[in-house]
Structure 1
Amino acid sequence: MIRIYINARFLTQTMTGVQRYALELVKEIDQLIDRGEIDGNRYEFCLLSPSNIINEPAFKHIRHKAVGKLKGHLWEQLELPFYAKGGLLINLCNTGPAFNKNQIVTIHDAAVFNYPKAFSFAFRAWYKFLMVRLGKNSKKIITVSNFSKGELIQHCKIAEHKLVVTHLGIDHIHRKKAASGTLEKYGIKSPYVLAVSTMNPYKNFNLIVDVLPELEAHNLNVVIVGSKNSKVFGEQTWVQSDAINWVGYVTDEELKALYEDAAGFIFPSLYEGFGLPPLEAMALGCPVIVSSRASIPEVCGDAVLYFDPQSPQEAASCLIEITSDTELSKQLSYKGRIRSGLFSWNKCAKDTVNIIMNTV
């Protein structure tokens, strides 16, 4: 029996794109075992987590064990390596034991190198050290776009033969049922433009504030979904406006309702390793405008409108265009659904399992 341990520290964290990737990937691997596409008699998968998990996972074939007494980075660096002895360790969320050699790590981007001021000093110092160390010690590094692959080679000096790209999936959004009454719950007035992200400064949400006068002139409101984590991103000052509804963290079902009811979706990010939110919006038929930077064109293709993320005028023009031109809106909605269909968790899982099988 070949043992494969999965670092499940992500079960203790609030859901963002990174945790979404980890959870959906493990779900799909469990399905591959169930369908006999992975030999469950030969390979044993086991999730290892600290005790302070938010939700208990429910899988048919992948066991979960809460181990150790520590939490967070200390658990990951000091206790996880002990419990993962005798097996290959899979780390899915940018971090892992710095000195473990029998492991695979997914590193989603190199943002701490490109936008260091967007992170607190402690966060960026630790991650810069850790990412370089993981790149040297790990057997393989998975990343989520060809753009990120280039970034990791440049900033972390990871050997190209160690790096493999696996794109994320989108089908999780179709498995959820939109929550009724979401707009009423949060006091949202239609028509509105939706934005979804963490409040990291390089996500460039201040651009939305800059385009507000133009949006208000066209009777458009703005809804922003996302958390503000000062421990990670440092203290930020956010402009308050009656036309902006900051709803914070929402459930997946509420998020689906917000995508489906939105007149348009804006993603002004300056830097992404992949960029899941615009793909989620596209999958649900919402017309999308996105920044032309980083991995975003690789993911969105020709199914969106692009704008210079440092040009509020260009962004405003694109938003007005997709919300006022019915024919363009329909065209983008159609193209978005087709484009998003190219990204599945099944393909992501199969690619990842192939990497694992070629490494053990």
Structure 2
Amino acid sequence: MTLKKIYINARFLTQSITGVQRYAIELVKSIDRLIDRGDIDASELKFTLIAPRGAINGLELKHIEVRFVGKLKGHLWEQFELPFFTGDGLLLNLCNTSPIVKRNQVTTIHDASVYAVPQTYSFLFRAWYKLLFSVSKVISRSIITDSDFSKKELIQYCKIAPSKIRTIYLGKEHIHDHNADPLFLSKINEGRPFLLAVSSMSPNKNFGSILQAVELMGKVDFDIVIAGGTNPKIFSSSHPTDLSAYRYLGYVDDSQLRTLYENADCFIYPSYYEGFGLPPLEAMASGCPVIVSNTASLPEVCGDAVLYCDPHSPKQIAESIHRMMGDPQLRANLRTKGLERAKQFSWEKCSGEIVALIREVLKCELPSSTTG
């Protein structure tokens, strides 16, 4: 049996952790566990992380080597140095971007947001990612995406052949990797019920509609706890000036996030556009009742385990919040449904399907002159 080399583009180790980096980290950890368990034969497939220097995230891995190479950083490292160090194997890219001069690669493109919601991004960002996607659809051996919704979007906008793109869902076990922090909860909440929102403050997350909805509701007998993001610019003069009911926490670590999910009376996520929607899945896996948008990939991921709202209607969002917070039986039912729904998603399943895809790709070897 000939050993096949699979290199993983680990540029994500130098980036702050958002959903995309979370996907890459959890997927690599899960592949490492599959090797440890013997589900992947290390004499058949050899996985190696290839990363630029200056990593800010570390991974504890038993079987996958982490190799720091090159002198460049960011996109320059990815485009000019990464292909050189992966010339004798298949390259797996997990975070949307990939080198445009390497043919022997598989790339995850999480969504088509640069096409569908272009106003969310700068002109240069949109132009660069559209270029990368247009090249990747041609040179990548296969494309992975997070949902059937994203698959349809990428086929529509990028004209990717349907046979070349595979839907592989994300997992949720990472939310339980860290113990909850009850002391953290006591510092921010005095036993009052609270509505939780987790947001990057990106316009696409539609956070402003939550504030508008709460304003429409008038005085409420619960707190609104907001986690995530680094700058609460959303609290502008166009929004309520009485912020006494709001608890803005900024960045929270994984233990604190688990604590919030497990103790919130409701989690709300009225995003306009999602390729998957990891926070609602994390909330469901934590037994938290969820309100989400009735758009994009969210119905596909959440099924009948959540309460839906129109993200364009603050009035309907307010009605959904009022209904959820005022109905203990509804919350109990959705807790049960959410826990059951979350069982359908796991990083082990995700990594197993990606490894199966890699084996399919390796069976159709490129000619030796074009493997770089």
TM-score, length basis structure 1: 0.95
C-alpha distance in structure 1 between counterparts of 2:176 and 2:152, whole Å: 31
Structure-2 residue corresponding to 1:55: 57
Is 1:145 the counterpart of 2:154? The answer is no
User: Partner of 2:166 in structure 1?
Assistant: 164
Q: Give the residue type in structure 1 aligned to 2:12.
A: F
Does 2:29 match 1:33? no
Does the CA contact (< 8 Å) of 2:273 and 2:296 recur in 1?
A: yes
Q: 1:189 to 1:133 in 2, by over 3 A?
A: farther
Describe how 1:211-226 pairs up with structure 2 within 5 A: 211-215=213-217, 217-226=219-228
Provide the residue aligned with 1:232 in structure 2: none
1:3: Cα distance to partner? 0.7
2:121 corresponds to which of 119, 142, 157: 119
Contact 2:207-2:234 within 8 A present in 1 as well: no
Query: Which residue type is aligned with residue 254 of structure 1?
Result: Q
> How far does residue 14 in structure 1 lie from its aligned partner after superposition?
1.4
1:293 aligned residue (289, 292, 295): 295
Q: Which residue type is aligned with residue 184 of structure 2?
A: T
* Counterparts in 2 of 1:218 and 1:238: CA distance versus 1, 3 Å: closer
CA distance in 1 between partners of 2:126 and 2:233 (Å) = 16
> SS of 1:69's equivalent?
coil
Q: Which runs of 5+ in 2 are unaligned?
A: 363-372
Residue aligning to 1:66: 68
Deviation at 1:185, TM superposition (A): 4.4
Tell me how far 1:237 sits from its aligned partner: 5.2
Provide closer, same or farther for how the CA distance between residues 154 and 67 of structure 1 changes in structure 2, counting only shifts above 3 A.
same
Residue 142 to residue 188, structure 1, CA distance change in 2 (3 Å):
farther
Residue deviations 1:57-100 (CA, integer Å, cap 9, x gap)? 11000000111111111111111111111000000011111221
Residue type at the aligned position of 1:352: I
The CA distance in 2 between the partners of 1:237 and 1:176, in whole Å, is 30
What is residue 19 of structure 2 aligned with on the other side? 17
In structure 2, C-alpha distance between the alignment counterparts of 1:215 and 1:78, rounded to whole Å: 54
Amino acid at match of 2:77: W
CA shift for structure 1 position 189? 7.2
Q: Which residue of 2 aligns with 1:2?
A: 4
Percent identical pairs in the alignment equals 52
Question: What's the CA shift for 1:151?
Answer: 0.5
SS of the residue corresponding to residue 305 of structure 2 reads coil
Query: Do the aligned residues in 2 keep the contact of 1:212 with 1:243 (CA within 8 Å)?
Result: no
Structure 1 counterpart SS, 2:61:
coil
CA positional deviation for 1:203: 1.1
CA contact (8 A) 1:197 1:277 kept: no
Does residue 95 (structure 1) correspond to residue 93 (structure 2)? The answer is no
Closer/same/farther in 2, CA of residues 321 and 114 from structure 1, 3 Å limit: same
Output the aligned Cα RMSD. 1.7
Task: Measure how far apart 1:182 and its partner are.
Answer: 1.6
* Code of the aligned partner of 1:82: F
2:274/2:298 contact within 8 Å kept: yes
Q: Which of 188, 205, 215 matches 1:203?
A: 205
Q: Secondary structure at the match of 2:6?
A: strand
Q: Which residue of 1 aligns with 2:181?
A: 179
Task: Give ranges in structure 1 of 5+ residues lacking alignment.
Answer: 230-234
Separation (CA, whole Å) in 1 of partners of 2:148 and 2:18: 21
**CA–CA separation in structure 2 for the residues paired with 1:80 and 1:272:** 29
> Is 1:275–2:277 an aligned residue pair?
yes
Q: CA deviation at 1:188?
A: 7.6
Separation in 1, partners of 2:302, 2:42:
36
Question: Could you tell me which of 234, 257, 273 is aligned with 1:255?
Answer: 257
TM-score, normalization by structure 2: 0.92
Q: Give the one of 82, 85, 91 matched to 1:83.
A: 85
Checking the alignment, whether the CA contact within 8 Å between 1:141 and 1:162 is kept in structure 2 is: yes
Per-residue deviation, residues 146-187 of structure 1 (Å, max 9, x unmatched): 000000001111111110010001111122211232234457
Q: How does 1:311-330 map to 2 (within 5 A)?
A: 311-330=313-332
Contact 1:195/1:265 (8 A) holds in 2: yes
Is the 8 Å Cα contact of residues 99 and 134 (structure 1) preserved in structure 2?
no
- Work out which of the residue numbers 78, 102, 109 in structure 2 matches 1:107: 109
* TM superposition shift of 1:338: 0.4
Partner of 2:344: 342
Q: Secondary structure at the match of 1:85?
A: coil
Structure 2 Cα separation of the partners of residues 207 and 77 of structure 1: 39
Task: Verify the 8 A CA contact 2:305 2:334 in the aligned structure 1.
Answer: yes
Residue identity opposite 1:179 in structure 2: D
- 3-state SS in 1 of match to 2:361: coil
1:238 to partner: Cα distance: 4.1
Q: How far does residue 289 in structure 1 lie from its aligned partner after superposition?
A: 0.6
* Count of matched residue positions in the alignment of Structure 1 and Structure 2: 355
Aligned to 1:302: 304
- Single out whichever of 124-133 and 87-96 deviates more from structure 2: 124-133
Partner of 1:42: 44
How big is the shift at 1:335?
A: 0.4
Structure 1 CA distance for aligned equivalents of residues 212 and 190 of structure 2: 20
Q: What do the CA deviations read for 1:241-291 (whole angstroms, capped 9, x no partner)?
A: 333333222111110001111110101001000001011111111111110
